[in-house]
């Protein structure tokens, strides 16, 4: 719980207050005073009676009652201080800067746990330990800078790393980003990212709350709560970008399915973010750029005008936009000719719109007017405008300001002259704008933002025979299910399966082959990865071949029978699922056959997966053109593949005991989608 005493304290005590602003206790006091905190402020320092002009007490026992305590003393003093503050001074909010807690080992963890118990006992809020503090509209309770000016509609930010928060501000402020509430939660002993997200959600006011939320985290302790509040905020109109660090796999788990090899906690994080509508970032600069894009009116489409007075940046930006799936439409016809007539000779309006190094503010204004009013094939504009330093560009940036303020189509400013136009850019920021400095970095993140918007609608799963699935599952032992049981479960879920039969003797194999008809596929039963051991034979055409192949397959290690199937043709695709700790089931799809692990071209989503999310999964694949059909070869019925993914998601809800599952391959044609091989692991 985040208490009002943390957000708007009437009194603050600095434990470890100092006149030395190179120390955390001195710097935080300086920041609070410099930004004109209105409440009562006192310090604790046994060697001082006044610190930076505020009263100072020898110990916590001598303090008056306080709302918020900021502790900047060594870890071994913290527990005793908390006991006095919580039990004797009616303190309900605590920020602990100090390190030396759970990040140091078991002893530090035990100390941290005792501190949380003290705060919980009085219904208080604890931020930290091992953090840089909190900024609200009422006080600047941080010891590390830079300290941004408070903007009521600026970005809200929460970070598990104090240093990352500092470096993020260093990158963001020079680009014009504004900030509102900032929480550095450190070890998250009591209050973590999910708690701050919940607070933002439950107190959200469309008129007065920030619409941009930025997150840095190293763990997601409660993915379901995280998803609930993040998705709620996005549905209310917020835009969220986040870094989740620590995304490499330990690689120590033994996995036996394709899905197990391809899925993992990091894939689950990405799927969680997509389902919530969060843009995942991998660097501070990327986070800053996406936050800046969020601060501009959203692009309602993917058709962009690239406007520049320098050819090279325009070409590079166009390349990255097109590679990212966006459009830079060619502009031609009478309207394009009319615009060209207003520019200097040698200019180009075909898009990129290049109005030359000699282009001026008036011409930029006319170009933006044409984009806004005349070019219906354009959804927004990117303006790249710097200077060689030979003349000032105040007038250009003033026109840019006016057009960004009045145009309905979004305009994204790339102003690369951070040194030679520093004064003009600073003025542009003071007029309330952000800017970007690198066109390629901007183009990359714009394409990612555009692919994620709008977020998925809630999943509506298809009806399946849940009663039959439950009756089958409850009778099974833990482990891999027999092939006939797997196909029975798939059929109950409404997933089409190839005709097949199993045999443990040559006589049975011959009888089943005669009933199924030729040609046949024969597979060994027992080994998990049949292809790896030569356990799959295709094109079996006669009883003689059935006998020969049966003997070969039964001679393989772990063989306990042979599976005979009709041989079908089509494009091989793959879908699967894996239960990921805390996250639930992760659903995957991709190109099938033996290539699924070689190319690792898979899309993932957290169950439940509805039609909209399933369609986006498929279209994210690099192999999507093959699924659509390429070079005269028929593709896969996309609607059937979407429906099958949704049925798989419904199956996982009906049978949560499924821990890993593969359907590989699914043979797809324009008219059908048939499961040829599948396995299910239950636990």
- 463-518 tens-digit pLDDT: 999 999 999 999 999 999 998 899 999 999 999 999 989 999 999 999 999 999 99
354 pLDDT higher than 90: yes
Torsion sign, CA atoms 511, 515, 517, 523? negative
Distance CA 548, CA 550 (A): 5
Sequence ranges of the domains in the chain: 4-129, 145-294, 304-452, 571-682
Distance CA 611, CA 627 (A): 17
pLDDT of residue 134: 98
The CA–CA distances, whole Å, from 629 to 324, 612, 633 equal 21, 21, 6
pLDDT of residue 257: 46
251 pLDDT higher than 50: no
Distance CA 563, CA 481 (A): 14
- Return the biggest CA–CA distance within the chain: 101
Length of the chain: 683
Q: Does domain 571-682 have CATH number 3.30.470.20?
A: yes
pLDDT of residue 156: 98
What is the average pLDDT value for the chain, to the nearest integer? 93
Tokens 């046949």 belong to residue: 520
Token pair recorded at residue 247: 């995304």
CATH number for domain 304-452, candidates 3.30.720.200, 3.40.309.10, 3.40.50.261, 3.30.1360.30: 3.40.50.261
Distance CA 616, CA 62 (A): 62
Choose among 597, 619, 595, 617: nearest CA to 607. Answer: 617
13 pLDDT higher than 90: yes
Q: Residue range 586-598: average pLDDT?
A: 83
Class of domain 4-129: alpha beta
Tokens 């003689």 belong to residue: 544
Q: Which of 80-84, 101-105, 131-135, 152-156 has the lowest mean pLDDT?
A: 101-105
pLDDT of residue 601: 87
pLDDT category of residue 260 using cuts at 50, 70 and 90:
very low
pLDDT of residue 266: 87
pLDDT of residue 250: 42
Token pair recorded at residue 623: 């192999």
Kindly tell me the burial class for residue 319, based on how many C-beta atoms sit within 10 Å of its own C-beta (0-12, 13-18, 19 or more). middle
Token pair recorded at residue 673: 């989608």
249 pLDDT higher than 60: no
Distance CA 351, CA 305 (A): 6
Angle at the Cα of 82 from the Cα atoms of 78 and 85, rounded to 5 degrees: 135
pLDDT digits (tens, 9 = 90+) for 521-562: 999 988 767 777 889 999 999 999 999 999 999 999 989 999
| Residue 23: DSSP 8-state | S
pLDDT of residue 252: 33
Domain covering 145-294, topology: Rossmann fold (3.40.50)
248 pLDDT higher than 60: no
Distance CA 671, CA 638 (A): 10
Choose among 103, 485, 512: nearest CA to 522. Answer: 512
pLDDT of residue 527: 79
pLDDT of residue 253: 40
Phi-psi region of 186 (alpha: psi -120 to 50; beta: other; left: phi over 0): left
Q: Residue range 640-653: average pLDDT?
A: 97
Nearest 5°: phi and psi at 463? -80, 130
pLDDT digits (tens, 9 = 90+) for 290-344: 999 999 999 999 999 999 998 899 999 999 999 999 999 999 999 999 999 999 9
pLDDT digits (tens, 9 = 90+) for 41-87: 999 999 999 999 999 999 999 999 999 999 999 999 999 999 999 99
444 pLDDT higher than 80: yes
Q: Which residues lie closer than 8 Å to 250 by C-beta, 6 or more apart?
A: none
Matching fold, domains 4-129 and 304-452: yes
């Amino acid at each position: 719980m985040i208490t009002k005493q943390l957000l708007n304290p009437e009194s603050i005590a600095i434990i470890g207050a100092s006149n030395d602003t190179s120390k955390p206790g001195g710097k935080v006091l300086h920041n609070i005073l410099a930004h004109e905190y209105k409440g009562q402020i006192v310090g604790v320092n046994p060697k001082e009676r006044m610190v930076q002009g505020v009263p100072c007490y020898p110990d916590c026992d001598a303090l008056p009652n306080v709302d918020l305590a900021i502790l900047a003393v060594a870890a071994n003093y913290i527990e005793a201080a908390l006991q006095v503050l919580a039990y004797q001074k009616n303190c309900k909010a605590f920020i602990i800067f100090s390190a030396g807690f759970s990040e140091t080992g078991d002893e530090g963890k035990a100390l941290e746990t005792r501190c949380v118990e003290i705060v919980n006992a009085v219904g208080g809020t604890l931020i930290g330990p091992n953090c840089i503090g909190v900024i609200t509209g009422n006080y600047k309770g941080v010891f590390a800078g830079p300290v941004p000016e408070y903007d009521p509609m600026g970005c809200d930010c929460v970070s598990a790393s104090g240093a990352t928060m500092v470096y993020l501000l260093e990158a963001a402020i020079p680009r014009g980003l504004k900030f509102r509430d900032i929480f550095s939660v450190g070890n998250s002993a009591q209050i973590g990212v999910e708690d701050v997200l919940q607070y933002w959600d439950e107190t959200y006011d469309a008129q007065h709350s920030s619409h941009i939320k930025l997150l840095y985290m190293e763990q997601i302790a409660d993915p379901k709560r995280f998803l609930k509040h993040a998705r709620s905020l996005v549905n209310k109109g917020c835009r969220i970008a986040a870094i989740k660090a620590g995304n490499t796999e330990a690689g120590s788990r033994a996995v036996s399915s394709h899905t197990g090899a391809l899925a993992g906690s990091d894939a689950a994080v990405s799927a969680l973010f997509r389902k919530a509508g969060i843009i995942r970032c991998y660097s501070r600069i990327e986070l800053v750029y996406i936050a800046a894009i969020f601060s501009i009116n959203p692009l309602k489409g993917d058709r962009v005008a690239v406007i520049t007075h320098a050819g090279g940046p325009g070409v590079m930006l166009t390349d990255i936009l097109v590679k990212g799936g966006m459009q830079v439409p060619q502009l031609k016809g009478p309207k394009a000719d009319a615009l060209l007539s207003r520019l200097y000779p040698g200019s180009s309006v075909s898009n990129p719109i290049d109005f030359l190094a000699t282009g001026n503010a008036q011409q930029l204004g006319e170009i933006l007017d044409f984009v806004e009013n005349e070019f219906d094939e354009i959804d927004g504009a990117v303006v790249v405008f710097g200077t060689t330093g030979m003349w000032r560009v105040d007038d250009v940036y003033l026109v840019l300001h006016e057009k960004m303020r009045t145009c309905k189509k979004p305009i994204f400013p790339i102003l690369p002259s951070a040194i030679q136009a520093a004064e003009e850019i600073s003025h542009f920021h003071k007029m309330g704008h952000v800017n970007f400095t690198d066109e390629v970095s901007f183009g990359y993140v714009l394409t990612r933002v555009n692919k994620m918007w709008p977020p998925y609608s809630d999943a509506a799963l298809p009806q399946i025979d849940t009663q039959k699935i439950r009756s089958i599952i409850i009778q099974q032992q833990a482990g891999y299910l027999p092939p006939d049981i797997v196909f029975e479960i798939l059929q109950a879920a409404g997933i089409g399966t190839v005709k097949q039969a199993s045999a443990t003797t040559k006589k049975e194999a011959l009888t089943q082959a005669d009933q199924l008809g030729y040609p046949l596929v024969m597979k060994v039963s027992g080994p998990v990865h049949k292809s790896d051991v030569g356990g799959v034979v295709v094109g079996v055409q006669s009883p003689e071949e059935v006998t020969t192949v049966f003997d070969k397959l039964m001679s393989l290690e772990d063989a306990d029978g042979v599976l005979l199937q009709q041989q079908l043709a089509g494009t091989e695709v793959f879908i699967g699922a894996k239960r990921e700790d805390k996250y639930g089931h992760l659903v995957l799809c991709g190109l099938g056959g033996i290539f699924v692990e070689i190319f690792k071209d898979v899309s993932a989503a957290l169950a439940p997966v509805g039609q909209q999310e399933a369609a986006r999964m498929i279209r994210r694949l690099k192999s999507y053109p093959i699924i659509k059909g390429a070079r005269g070869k028929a593709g896969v019925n996309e609607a059937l593949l979407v429906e099958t993914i949704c049925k798989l998601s419904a199956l996982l809800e009906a049978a949560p005991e499924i821990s890993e599952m593969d359907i590989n391959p699914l043979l797809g044609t324009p008219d059908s989608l048939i499961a040829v091989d599948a396995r299910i692991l239950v636990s």
